[in-house]
Chain A
């Protein structure tokens, strides 16, 4: 990619060599279903807390996979655990418990 010396958004390029996915692997061990996510965004669309805050579970899962958890992790604190994401998930992921597990593994 040509470097113009400026960019509209910060680079989203992933350096696979530098990727530290130890925590994500740990998460996958206790929550294997996280790998099933196809990022459809149903969870985000139905989210109660998402009405008022930045909370976006789809984005959180993507950022965890990419080892950029610091971007989104704190938004999970606004989750009310109402469980609607759980009901709508077309992949049958237990998102409610996934959120609890993320908080445990990433220690927030």
Chain B
């Protein structure tokens, strides 16, 4: 049985907490309205629709629980890091929820007060223990212990981050430190405060022993006012600095997840979706270890976490510098636990710089490739686009043609007399309008050719063909998938040789388009496939990427060397890649022979 200790149900020590709580609530609601108002009309409708669509609403709920409370993505990365996050998040949530339930059961008339469940133990006194009461006491102590263990790991991580799977961590700002220390202090202070009052308000396995301990030290129970004040103050401080620290990701992610699930894209570097992402960045620094530019220490401050910080600070010069330097390999975005679309943010920054090149592509009108206009026999026709990069690596188109001939495919070459660029490089340079001109021209050529399938051998081209072209009725396929299907159907016969191969995932193909397995299956048909140290989603950019505008030749060289070392860890005989740019870049630096995917297959074709 319990009863209230004070008739008023109020004590002035709750004020710091209440001020902080009011501030954070107002700030979050205002921020949410701001983000949603900044979306354009189309996106607003998209978001509203997805919120009320039951399947999507369920997905939102599931993702919020999986990502914000249980941190499933972090668990997959490192168990200790996962436990640290979910114990704090889940434990804290349960403390709040159970606190409310307790208030609601025992003192229903106070359940409207925000501070009451938080400081429940201060206001209550226990008269006799019941089973139900003891159960609540036990739960509260249990979750408090859970949070404390997470906090302990967090403190440990400050000193030895490597054990939790992180080589480098973000350099924090002053406010981040204030937030961090107040977060660390909240729960130990809660333990001490509740321990102090446990003699009056009751407690369980954690708080009662603390109470015995303190009773021996301090005989005056009046002293516990100070600890409750301290507990309330650190909570208040934490809430007030929260919007200006990394911890803003806690509330912001709840908004970002439905927006992401609605399919809203970044359109401006600081507004709408971008703003939601800027708030959601937890400055965890996983992107620092992921960035291939990190091979050189001077580039460490060019990773996504610092880009986010500079955009928030409105430091235009640094924002541009970081955005222009990036290779756009997408590795940071792929591993980001909150899903900050780092490449999209950088593209938006690049698009904002209007002063550079104003392309004039009227000359494209006169380009008419010599193609059989009609597909007279009415059967399937494959149009092969080698891409402009392949003109530097003619071995790719030669090998592709050889395989197509062997398989007896009805095909035609789209760019045998020199090609028009696919538009991806312009797009990556932030020249969307200019890219549209090239896209329109290529689309015209493809549609006029009467083809039913467009075969592409360049990973960069494949990305833009499948995403931006909207070719109705024409299947766009990358040669890795196409040749694997030819081999599966038995149209080409591959013999297994004795060579050991390692496959390099080109960024645009792997992380860009999600093709990881088809090339591996095909290579397994022609020899032994050995793994690289980091592959698939974690594969390392070759360093030649056209994504970077400013990275110099020597800096790229360091990255290439790093990527090669990553590939040859299991001593393969050959490195196979599926992108002409990777092939060209690796060939300069690798002692192990680098060959193209089509070349590798054609060598082992009967």
Which A residues fall within an 8 A CB radius of B? Answer: 33, 46, 48, 51-53, 76-84, 86-89, 92-94, 96-97, 99-100, 103-104, 108
Interface pairs (6), CB distance under 8 Å: A52-B367, A77-B360, A80-B438, A84-B392, A94-B550, A100-B357
Q: Could you tell me if B357 and A79 are in contact, using CB atoms closer than 8 angstroms?
A: yes
> Pick the contact of B356 from A33, A52, A94, A100 — CB < 8 Å?
A100
Given A46-B391, A80-B420, A87-B392; 7 other pairs, CB 8 A cutoff:
A46-B392, A53-B363, A78-B360, A79-B359, A82-B425, A94-B553, A96-B425
Query: Could you tell me how many residues of chain B have their Cβ less than 8 Å away from some Cβ of chain A?
Result: 37
Please name all residues of chain A whose beta carbon is closer than 8 Å to the beta carbon of B420 when the two chains form the complex. 48, 80
Q: Could you tell me if A88 and B358 are in contact, using CB atoms closer than 8 angstroms?
A: no
Q: Could you tell me if B356 and A48 are in contact, using CB atoms closer than 8 angstroms?
A: no
Number of A-B contacts (CB under 8 A): 90
CB-CB nearest in chain B for A51: B418
A48 CB to closest chain B CB (Å) equals 5
Max chain A C-beta neighbours (<10 A), residue from B388, B420, B426, B429? B388
Which B residues fall within an 8 A CB radius of A? Answer: 324, 355-361, 363-364, 366-367, 388-389, 391-392, 418-421, 423, 425-426, 429, 431, 438, 544, 546, 549-554, 581, 584-585
Q: Contacts A87-B544, A92-B553; is A108 near B389 (CB within 8 Å)?
A: no
> Pick the contact of A87 from B358, B360, B438, B584 — CB < 8 Å?
B584
Q: Could you tell me if B425 and A80 are in contact, using CB atoms closer than 8 angstroms?
A: yes
> What is the bound-complex CA distance between A87 and B584, given in angstroms?
8
Max chain B C-beta neighbours (<10 A), residue from A33, A79, A86? A79
> What is the bound-complex CA distance between A104 and B357, given in angstroms?
7
> What is the bound-complex CA distance between A78 and B421, given in angstroms?
11
Please name all residues of chain A whose beta carbon is closer than 8 Å to the beta carbon of B551 when the two chains form the complex. 94
Q: Could you tell me if A48 and B363 are in contact, using CB atoms closer than 8 angstroms?
A: no
Please name all residues of chain B whose beta carbon is closer than 8 Å to the beta carbon of A82 when the two chains form the complex. 388-389, 421, 425, 546
Dominant SS at the B interface?
loop
> What is the bound-complex CA distance between A27 and B15, given in angstroms?
60
> What is the bound-complex CA distance between A47 and B35, given in angstroms?
44
The 9 residue pairs across chains A and B that have the minimum distance between CB atoms: A92-B553, A77-B360, A80-B421, A51-B418, A82-B421, A103-B357, A83-B546, A48-B388, A81-B425
Please name all residues of chain A whose beta carbon is closer than 8 Å to the beta carbon of B364 when the two chains form the complex. 52
Please name all residues of chain B whose beta carbon is closer than 8 Å to the beta carbon of A100 when the two chains form the complex. 356-357, 429, 549
CB-CB nearest in chain B for A80: B421
Please name all residues of chain A whose beta carbon is closer than 8 Å to the beta carbon of B388 when the two chains form the complex. 48, 80, 82, 84
Max chain B C-beta neighbours (<10 A), residue from A82, A86, A97, A108? A82
> What is the bound-complex CA distance between A93 and B391, given in angstroms?
20
Please name all residues of chain A whose beta carbon is closer than 8 Å to the beta carbon of B431 when the two chains form the complex. 81
Q: Could you tell me if B552 and A94 are in contact, using CB atoms closer than 8 angstroms?
A: yes
Please name all residues of chain A whose beta carbon is closer than 8 Å to the beta carbon of B429 when the two chains form the complex. 81, 96, 100
> What is the bound-complex CA distance between A78 and B419, given in angstroms?
14
> What is the bound-complex CA distance between A82 and B391, given in angstroms?
12
Q: Could you tell me if A52 and B421 are in contact, using CB atoms closer than 8 angstroms?
A: no
Q: Contacts A92-B553, A96-B549; is A83 near B425 (CB within 8 Å)?
A: yes
B548 CB to closest chain A CB (Å) equals 9
Q: Contacts A46-B391, A81-B425; is A76 near B553 (CB within 8 Å)?
A: no
Q: Could you tell me if B553 and A48 are in contact, using CB atoms closer than 8 angstroms?
A: no
Please name all residues of chain B whose beta carbon is closer than 8 Å to the beta carbon of A88 when the two chains form the complex. 392
Q: Could you tell me if A78 and B359 are in contact, using CB atoms closer than 8 angstroms?
A: yes
> What is the bound-complex CA distance between A86 and B357, given in angstroms?
17
B46 CB to closest chain A CB (Å) equals 31
B247 CB to closest chain A CB (Å) equals 38
> What is the bound-complex CA distance between A94 and B555, given in angstroms?
11
CB-CB nearest in chain B for A99: B357
Please name all residues of chain B whose beta carbon is closer than 8 Å to the beta carbon of A77 when the two chains form the complex. 357-360
Please name all residues of chain A whose beta carbon is closer than 8 Å to the beta carbon of B544 when the two chains form the complex. 87
Q: Contacts A81-B431, A94-B553, A96-B549; is A103 near B356 (CB within 8 Å)?
A: yes
